[in-house]
Structure 1
Amino acid sequence: MVDLAKYETLIGDLGKLESQVEILKNKYSDTIGRNKELEISLNEIQQDKNLLHQKISELES
């Protein structure tokens, strides 16, 4: 009977770990998606910056 209780405890602990892993996996996926969005925004901002520098150079000429 003692062994059964031990296994039930282990199964419960494994269930908790599985839940935590699932939460972390979802957070990781969300973070990856957000990073991609930020990378796209950064590239757009850099393009805008380069365009503005080019316009400034043209105006100074």
Structure 2
Amino acid sequence: MPGLLQTAEYTRAVVRAYDPFLEEEAAEARVAARRARAHIFENPRKPRYWAEDAHRTRSEDRHLA
């Protein structure tokens, strides 16, 4: 999931998965920093953001052949 689209809870899980021994204060600082960048979407002149799900299963790939 792109960082700009992550919820605080998801970001927290990603930070914890990357470094499970990180102190709580440092982890929350990383979460806050990532979430602060997402504030650009609150601007009236916000950028357009397009995301595409490119995940396919092997069974779906067989139907393409």
In the superposition, the TM-score normalised over structure 2's length comes to: 0.32
Q: Which has the higher helix share?
A: 1
Query: Rg bigger for which structure?
Result: 1
Higher relative contact order (CA 8 A, sep 6+): 2
TM-score, normalised relative to structure 1: 0.34
